[in-house]
Structure 1
């Protein structure tokens, strides 16, 4: 696989995905303490600079993605109970936990109105000013959905390959200094999302960076197809589908 402007991850992802080292885990949750990608790999370049750290006053945080220069996509449970958008800040454009990149406050928060009980778990943060010099990630086109959910026809196979990323703790309960990424295996899941199921490896999918992206390679470029909403250490993680369907329609209507 080649990831275009994200090509410096190519070799590592080939080893992870093609070699079968595929498992998952994401999270971080505001206003609850952040958790983690287990067994992830450190990002050491600018390949995933669109992955944002979304922080809430008091120190708790989630993961998100820059999908426009002034919009960040994350999970609805990450902003639950937040009444003042200015209490949320976003750091984007760096692979270091608390250093570099660009920091913006949120000026508006929008949770999907049908969010309930872990379903439809997405939210948008509008930033106080546009981020500059960082290319946002694009949502996948619905015509490509066979790559992750078996819809629209096409040669979908369970365990199609994906990529996850997040800012949370590792399996040892520590917060890595750098953004983590990992190869993942995708299978059809609940009606409102795509699910993540591990193939046994040395590390399994445990709590990790809520709001983080599930991405797929389409013609050498990474596109976002999911937002992390929940996980189970023994069975995998679940993602709200944003590459197609009504959640994508809702997102695009706000941009």
Structure 2
């Protein structure tokens, strides 16, 4: 059985770690424009989509600007990292360009119950050293139950790999995936929890987030409904992507955003 993989990319390793965390070096050349099964996206259309980078500039995760100086991402992207080693890049559709803003991080908050992505609570809030002049994406609330209904079309975005274990994308990519039912997700993943996670993907696979997209947005109804978390491989039939269910964390995330 294939290992369950967190969707994280680092610039420091190219091997599969013993815990099943797939890490690959970011590409320096252009690649085919697919998240997995997606297309190029305009940063102007999705201005709240950001990526996380090391102090040397290597992209390793995604995130969502939710206020002038706050970014929501996945806890497994920031666990073990220091603010001084982390950057947030806003307004840069092409990673090889110098467009946009590179902000330093002054504080990293990780949900206190987080232990691993597959255990839930995979959310983190970054505080930036400046206010970004941009529109931002509101969080889904507990009353937004319709956004989590099976079949709801949602948008995924990121700069991650275009196949499991493949090369990272130079450009921001997007795709549309349907939210799956809790029963479907639980059948694929016994550890699935509908109180902390939500799944999205086609039964036949073919379209999905992948390594390096971790922490990036799952968007429906003009709101952030999920943060890319984990899954078995990428775009595999019968194994949808798993996302942190933002509505479940609305209260605690709002506290951090307003702090």
Fold equivalence (TM over 0.5): yes
> Number of paired residues?
214
Residue pairs, 1:186-205, within 5 angstroms:
186-187=179-180, 188=182, 189=185, 190=193, 191-200=195-204, 203-205=206-208
Q: Which residue of 1 aligns with 2:15?
A: none
Residue pairs, 1:1-20, within 5 angstroms:
none
SS at match of 1:65: strand
Offset of residue 204 of structure 1: 4.1
SS at match of 2:250: helix
Contact kept? 1:49, 1:95, Cα under 8 Å: no
Contact kept? 1:104, 1:127, Cα under 8 Å: yes
Gaps of 5+ in 2: 13-22, 27-33, 186-192
Q: Which residue of 2 aligns with 1:75?
A: 74
Find the partner of 1:177 among 160, 170, 175. Answer: 170
User: Residues 103-150 of structure 1, C-alpha deviation per residue, up to 9 Å, x if partnerless?
Assistant: 101000000000122111011110011112x101111233222321xx
C-alpha separation between the residues in 2 aligned to 1:135 and 1:60?
22
Find the partner of 1:51 among 43, 49, 59. Answer: 49
Q: Which residue of 1 aligns with 2:255?
A: 253
C-alpha separation between the residues in 2 aligned to 1:60 and 1:45?
16
C-alpha separation between the residues in 2 aligned to 1:120 and 1:179?
26
Residue pairs, 1:87-236, within 5 angstroms:
87-99=85-97, 100-118=99-117, 119-132=120-133, 134-148=134-148, 156=149, 158-171=150-163, 173-187=166-180, 188=182, 189=185, 190=193, 191-200=195-204, 203-205=206-208, 207-208=210-211, 209-217=213-221, 222-233=222-233, 234=236, 235-236=239-240
C-alpha separation between the residues in 1 aligned to 2:59 and 2:143?
37
**Cα distance change of structure 1 residues 206 and 93 upon mapping to structure 2, 3 Å threshold:** closer
SS at match of 1:163: strand
Contact kept? 2:175, 2:207, Cα under 8 Å: no
C-alpha separation between the residues in 1 aligned to 2:209 and 2:94?
22
Mean Cα displacement is larger for which, 106-115 or 89-98? Answer: 89-98
User: Residues 181-205 of structure 1, C-alpha deviation per residue, up to 9 Å, x if partnerless?
Assistant: 100111235231111232426x343
C-alpha separation between the residues in 2 aligned to 1:138 and 1:86?
27
